[in-house]
A and B are shown apart, each in its own frame.
Chain A
Amino acid sequence: MKLFLVEDDVLLAETLGDALKLEGHEVTAIDDGELARQRLAQAGHGFDLILLDLNLPGCSGLDVLAELRQRDSTTPVLILTARGAIEDRVKGLDLGADDYLAKPFVLDELEARVRALLRRHPQGQSLHVGPLVLDTVAQRFMLEGEPLNLPPREQRLLNCLMRHAGEPVDKARLSEEAFAGEVRGDNAIEVYVHRLRGRLKGSRVALRTVRGLGYVLEST
C-alpha cells in the first residue's frame, strides 16, 4: 500500500517510515505542511492512506486536511499530534479525518490503526483477518482456504466486523448492519453472534465480547 507520511520531527518520521516499510508499505515522507498541501493538490495523488501531523511548519495539518477533503473525501487520514488534548481530535474528526492517535503512542498501536484503516477502505479485491478472507467483489468468505457459506444477515455482520477487525464495534451498529434498518432489540444480535462464533470455532479467528459495548473480531 502507498502511504503518505507528513511529520516534521526527523527522528519520528524516519522511525515511522522504516516501521511502515517493514510492514510492506511504500512510504512517501514530507516534513512541511505547505509542500504536503501541494503534493496532495495534484489530481490523483495515488495514496491509500495519509498519516498527518497537526503541528507542522508552513501550513497547519488541519488546513491540509480541510483542503484535501474538498477534493478527495475517500482516502483515509490518520491524524498524529503532539498536542495531548482530545480537543484537537474533535476538530480533526469534524474536518473529515478517519482516526486519531495522540503522541506518545506505541508503534504496535500505530500499525494496528493503519491496518484497520486500510481494511475499512479496501482498495483491492479482498479483506484479510488472519486466515479469514473476504472477496469484496463476489462477497464470498474463505476460512483457512475453505469456502464459508453464510446466510445474508450473518454475511453482513461478518463483513462489518471484518472491516473493523481489531476494534470494538458497537452492538447498536452491528444490529443496524445485520437487520439493515429493521428495528430489533440489542439482544437479537446475540443470536447471530452466537451462530458466527460457532462457525469460526477452531480457527485462528476469534469473535470476542467487549463488555457492555459490543464485539471485536481478531486473529489470535
Chain B
Amino acid sequence: MRAPRSLYSRLLVWLLLPLVLLGSLMLIQAYYDARRTADRAFDRLLEAATLAIAEQVQWQNERLWLDLPPAALEMLATGAQERVFYALYNGQGEFITGNARLPGDARQDVESGDTLLYRDIDWRDMTLRQGVRRTRLEDWSLRERFEVRVAQTREGRAALTLSLLRGNLAYIGVMAGVAVVMLLLAVRSALAPLTRLRRAIRTRDPRTLAPLELPLPRELAELRETINELLARMRRVRANQERFIGDASHQLRTPLAGLSARAELALRQDDPQAWHDALKAMRSTSANTARLAVQLLSLTRLNNPEATPELVTTDLDRVARTALHHAWHACHRAGIDLGLETPDTPVTVRGIDWQLEEALSNLIDNARRYGARRITIQVSGSPPSLAVEDDGPGIPADKRLLVLRPFYRGTSDGEGSGLGLAIVDGIARSHAARLILEETPSGRGLRVSLRFPGEIS
C-alpha cells in the first residue's frame, strides 16, 4: 500500500501554491507599473527636447535650417550615461540635419496641431525610446511641414524602473514572509490535536482497553469515538475469552483432581478389586479430559479469525461417509445403530471438509453420550444441508439457544464437556451456514442440521 502524502504537506502545498502564484502576479504587475512610471517621466523629457529643437527650426535660403540649442540635448543626458540621437526631416521625409538617421514612425497623425508619438525601437543593436514630433513652420509666406526625431538609450529609464521596483519588492517580500509564517503556524496549530491523539495512543499500556479520554476538536472527536467503540467491542471479546479460559481451566483441573484423588485412595487399599475399579474410573476420566483438551483446541482455532482456511468446493456426501467411518467403531461398540441417508445426486457446498467432519463427529458424539440408540447422518440437496438425527431425549425448545454456549451442559451426568455444540456452532458460522436444532419428524429425539447458503450450480 502506497502511503498517501502527509496532511501537513498537503495543506502546505494547497495553501502555498496560490500564495506563490499571487506573489508572482504582484511582482509582474509591480515591474510593469514601475516601467510605465519611468517611461512617463522620461517621455516628458523627450517631449521637452523635441519642443526645444522644433522651436529652433527656421526657414533660411529656401530651406529648413536648425541651430541646435545645447540645452535641448543636455536635458536628455541624465546621470546614467545615456546616448542621445536627434534628426530633423522635412515634410517629404528627407534628412536635413542631425547626428543619426533615425527611422520614422508610421502612425498617422491624430490631431490637427503638433503630433507627438513615442515608441520603443531597435536601432543599430540598441534599444531606444524615440519621440517623434510632427509640426510645421508657419508665417504669412509659407507652411513648411517638418519632423523632429529624438531618441535616447534606456539606461536612465532602467535605473528608475529598478529603483521604483525595489521599493515595491521590499513591500511584497515582507507581505509574503508574514503570510508564509502565519500559514505554517496555522497548519501546525490545526494539526496539533492529531499529534496529541497519536501520542496518547502511543503511550498507552498495550494491555489496557480503557477508552481514550482527551479533549479533541469535533473532527477528531469522531475518530476518538470510533476508536472507543472498537475498544469497547474488544473489551467484550476479551471478557468472553477470559471467562472461557477460566471455565476451561476449571474444566481441566476438576478431572485432574479427581484422577489424583482416586489414585491416592486406591494406593491406600490392598484389595485388587478396588484397584481394578479405580483404574476403570481413572481410564474413563482421563479419556474425557483428553477429549476436552482436544475440543478446547478446536474451539480456540475456530475463534481465531486469522487462521480461517479458504472455503473450497466440498462434496457433502464424502464428508458424511468419512464421518461415519470414523464414528462407526465407537458407536458399534456401544451398540448404537449409526447410519447414513444421502440423496442420489451429489451435493456440493463451499466449505472445509475437515471442519465439517469435525462438526459431524461432535454431533454424533453428543447423541451417543446423551443416550441415543439410533443415529442417522443425513445429507440433503435443497437447500444443501448436513444433519445428524438421533432418538435420544432431545433438548427442550427453551434450552436450544443455551446449549450453544461453551461449557453449558444439558444434563449433569458428567459425561459431556459442554463444548461439542459450541464447536459445531463455530464451524457453522465459518461456513455462513445456519445451525438448526429441532425435534425429529417422529417427535422424539433431536435433529441438528447445518443449512448452507445456496447451491453451487
Contacts and interface: CB of A to CB of B under 8 A. Distances in A.
Interface of A: 83-87, 89-90, 102-104, 106, 108-109, 112, 167-168, 170, 210-213, 216
Contacts of B377: 212
B76 interface: no
Interface string B275-306: 00000000000110011011101100100000
B229 interface: no
Nearest to B329: A109
10 contacts: A85-B297, A86-B355, A90-B353, A90-B354, A104-B286, A104-B290, A210-B340, A212-B339, A212-B341, A216-B328
A86 B326 CA distance: 11
A83 B297 CA distance: 9
Contact of B287 (A84, A104, A167, A213): A104
A212 B377 CA distance: 9
A106 B287 CA distance: 8
Contact of A213 (B291, B297, B298, B339): B339
B409 interface: no
B301 to A, nearest CB: 7
A87 B356 CA distance: 11
Give the interface residue-count category, chain B: 20 to 34
Nearest to A212: B340
Contacts of A90: 353-354
A210 B329 contact: no
Most buried by B among A83, A112, A211: A211
Contacts of A170: 321
Given A211-B337, A211-B376, A212-B340, A84 B297 contact: yes
Contacts of B341: 212
B391 interface: no
Contacts of A84: 293-295, 297-298
A108 B283 CA distance: 13
Given A108-B333, A213-B321, 19 more contacts: A84-B293, A84-B294, A84-B298, A85-B298, A85-B354, A85-B358, A86-B354, A87-B354, A89-B354, A104-B287, A104-B291, A167-B328, A168-B328, A210-B324, A211-B338, A211-B339, A211-B376, A212-B339, A216-B332
B325 interface: yes
Contacts of A86: 354-355, 357-358
B342 interface: yes
Nearest to A87: B354
Most buried by B among A89, A108, A212: A212
Interface string B319-357: 001001100111011000111111000000000011101
A34 B350 CA distance: 39
A152 B265 CA distance: 61
Contacts of A212: 324, 339-342, 376-377
A103 B301 CA distance: 18
Interface in B94-151: none
B321 to A, nearest CB: 6
Nearest to B352: A87
